[in-house]
Amino acid sequence: MTAVIEEASREAIQSAVDKQKQFYKEGKTKPLDVRKQTLEKLADVIKENEKEILLALKQDLNKSEMETYTTEIGILLEEIRFTLKHIDEWSAPVKVKTAKTHVGSKAYKVPEPYGAALIIAPWNYPLQLALSPIIGAIAAGNTAIIKPSELTPHTSNLITGLIDSHFDPEYITVIEGGVETTQLLLEQYFDYIFFTGSVPVGKVIMEAAAKQLIPVTLELGGKSPCIIDETANVPLAAKRVAFGKVTNAGQTCVAPDYLFIHKEVKEEFIQEFQKAIMGFYGKNPLTNDTYGRIVNERHFNRLTGYLQDGDILTGGSVDHASLKIEPTLMVPKDDTVPVMQDEIFGPIFPLMEYEDLDEVIRFINDRPKPLALYLFTSEDHVSDKVNNSISYGGGCVNDTLMHLATPYLPFGGVGESGIGNYHGESSFAAFSHYKSILKQTTKFDFSFRYPNAKFGLKVLKKLLK
Ligand code: NAD
């Protein structure tokens, strides 16, 4: 069956938002039991509909079962399990110390939900990136409206069906549509906006949010560099880099975008990279049914255009009919060609050889702060140097992608790659306002704080220095 996405009307959006605001005002999202039951139900819905999810992802992106399970289903179930385990602790008020001037009082940080949250998702991990933020939103006690991506219509339709048939729309609902619908949603006064997508659209979202002073999390993208130095375990590095680059056919926000490879290990890397691809998908990845496809023709054409930007070392074949592009290593003509300017978001991997790590660091620091950075080395002083001199969202030493698959690490960008972070406790925190409450004693009252108190200034000068 073909999936259809229609734009939503202003009236439908207004009505959905009004209902959620009312539901929130009535305090229905706040009891911890409700939050827990809702998260448990979400986990059950995902588990019970595994077959439908696998099919939708196959139709939209030709994702294999293994990939859909690990990057869409499993990661959500793990996030829910982790949240349920810690929600009591995260939602409890935290007692903190008070200043010397406040003797007798008690101070607390109390997490409270923002209210009605809007979650806007991209197409590359269309299930995970639509549902993962709602785990935080629900755990923290908010309502949520999800706007899935119109570019992966089967998954968008499925999310709508699953959410609408299992949850009260006043609590969690889905509004499908494209740019027009998102623009209408952005006219509404939400209490929080959580956006995952591209840098240019991130600016549109922040501008709209700024008009109403709505707080935002922006999970964006950009070019994430990878560095392999001469001390790296090259076969393992090549395998892990290839894994990061071919997962979802490179359509991953934290995929290694381009590579700096030390001159001494360049040839070995090229051979090992080819070997790794062969190990994953055989001689001809284009005909391997487990290899993902490009989401649509526009992106396919954009990506194949990059193949003109330099010399192809390995790969380079494409299949228009199935929208597949072979994992491709290339040497770009220079750093001004589009493949070195745009976020690639596909299985094309430009590499540049280097001898001086300082030049690599300068190159990266002359560009917007990356969402991810990957370094392969066996020397701690090299990883210390790179990590102390380059600012980036998050990354790995001697691996790719894996930093985002653990709920113990916050995930997000910095500078142009994003604002805020989530996963695990950070998801709860993203959707919470930490209210500061001071409970003052009435048993005594220091006179020194009041105007013209005897010795008041003298006492204050002793306490506040
Ligand atoms: P996108 O920015 O084009 O679209 C994201 C969402 O915004 C979609 O729901 C879309 O309908 C909506 N949208 C698009 N144009 C809009 C406009 N002009 N006004 C209002 N809304 C609009 O991103 P995409 O192509 O779906 O996803 C790819 C991008 O997302 C890449 O840049 C990638 O790096 C980034 N990304 C980031 C993360 C992360 O966690 N940091 C994860 C996945 C993808």
Can you tell me which atom of ligand 1 is nearest the CA of 202? Answer: 2
**Cα–Cα distance for residue pair 431/113, rounded to 1 Å:** 6
pLDDT at 100: 87
Residue ranges of domains in the chain, CATH in brackets: 10-220+416-437 (3.40.605.10), 225-407 (3.40.309.10)
Q: Which atom of ligand 1 is nearest to the CA of 183?
A: 20
pLDDT tens-digit profile, the chain (465 residues): 678 999 999 999 999 999 999 999 999 999 999 999 999 999 999 999 999 999 999 999 999 999 999 999 999 999 999 999 999 999 999 999 999 889 999 999 999 999 999 999 999 999 999 999 999 999 999 999 999 999 999 999 999 999 999 999 999 999 999 999 999 999 999 999 999 999 999 999 999 999 999 999 999 999 999 999 999 999 999 999 999 999 999 999 999 999 999 999 999 999 999 999 999 999 999 999 999 999 999 999 999 999 999 999 999 999 999 999 999 999 999 999 999 999 999 999 999 999 999 999 999 999 999 999 999 999 999 999 999 999 999 999 999 999 999 999 999 999 999 999 999 999 999 999 999 999 999 999 988 889 988 888 888 888 888
Catalytic residues: 219, 253
Is any atom of ligand 1 closer than 6 Å to the C-beta of 149?
Answer: yes
For residue 186, give the ligand 1 atom closest to its CA: 20
Give Cα 111 distance to the centre of its chain.
22
- pLDDT, residue 18, reads 98
Alpha carbon nearest to ligand 1 atom 17, residue: 179
pLDDT at 174 (0 to 100)? 98
Distance between Cα 438 and ligand 1 center (Å) = 41
176 Cβ closer than 6 Å to some ligand 1 atom: no
174, 217, 253, best to mutate for ligand 1 pocket (most atoms within 8 Å of CB): 253
DSSP state of 138: H
Report CA(200)–ligand 1 centroid distance (Å): 9
Cα 342 to middle of ligand 1, angstroms: 15
As beta bridge partners, residue 348 has 328
Instruction: Write down the pLDDT at residue 2.
Output: 78
Atom nearest to 148 CA in ligand 1: 9
Helix runs in 73-217, H state only: 74-91, 128-139, 153-166, 179-187, 199-211
Residue nearest to atom 22 of ligand 1 (CA): 179
Q: Which one-letter DSSP state was computed for residue 422?
A: B
Torsion sign (Cα): 395, 396, 397, 399: negative
Gap from CA of 199 to ligand 1 centroid (Å)? 8
Where b means 16+ CB within 10 Å and e means fewer, 222-232 reads bbbbbbbbbeb
Q: Is 253 in the pocket of ligand 1 (CB under 6 A)?
A: yes
Q: Is 107 in the pocket of ligand 1 (CB under 6 A)?
A: no
Residue nearest to atom 31 of ligand 1 (CA): 198
Could you tell me if the CB of 124 is within 6 A of ligand 1?
Answer: yes
Atom of ligand 1 nearest to the CA of 411: 40
CA 297 to ligand 1 centroid distance, Å: 17
Burial class of residue 244, CB neighbours in 10 A (0-12, 13-18, 19+) = buried
State the angle between helix axes of 266-281 and 234-246 in degrees (0 to 180), rounded to the nearest 10.
50
Reading the block at residue 71, the tokens are 């990057």
38 sits in which H/E element: helix 32-48
Name every residue whose Cβ is closer than 8 Å to that of residue 195 and which is 6 or more positions away in sequence. 119, 120, 201, 202, 205, 216, 217, 218, 219
